[in-house]
Amino acid sequence: MVNRELSKAEWLNKCEAYCAKSEHCAADVRRKLYEWQAPAYLSDEIVQSLYSNDFLNDARFCHAYVHDKVEYQNWGRMKIQAGLRALDLPDSEIRDALAAIDENVYTKNLRALIASRKSDSEDKRLHFLAQRGFTYEEIKRASHA
């Protein structure tokens, strides 16, 4: 098989297929292009095209990220916020997505984590929950409710 360079359109199609499978952000696409060894000069143009054609959408990505981290990984707001900021997403989109967290689910998850660590010392439990991204105030409120 002859190894040939892909055209810009072929790289774009490959990225569109990648984005169509699940929500991704620009940082994910840039990393994938690098892994696929795409020419670096195409990155910005491809990402812009993906935004233009709604394959990438920062608000949609932030909401999906927040939902998944709360529902499936039991992360707290602080860890979720740090994860989104590390992906260089707009603060306004991060704030909106965090504001949409279902408080009942969030509190239920936190209480379940607290209960699962009842045998730990209070310091160890607080340290564990802080690493999961929960604030001391959230932990205190959930522990005494």
CB count in 10 Å sphere of residue 38:
20
Span 2-48, pLDDT tens digits:
446 899 999 999 999 999 999 999 999 999 999 999 999 999 999 99
Nearest in space to 142 (alpha carbons), one of 113, 121, 116: 113
User: Measuring CA to CA, how many Å separate 17 from each of 22, 24, 66, 138, 145?
Assistant: 9, 11, 23, 40, 46
Domain ranges of the chain: 8-56, 59-143
DSSP-derived letter for residue 40 is: G
User: Measuring CA to CA, how many Å separate 142 from each of 12, 79, 109?
Assistant: 47, 18, 10
pTM for the model: 0.91
Span 112-140, pLDDT tens digits:
999 999 999 999 999 999 999 999 999 99
Span 87-99, pLDDT tens digits:
999 999 999 999 9
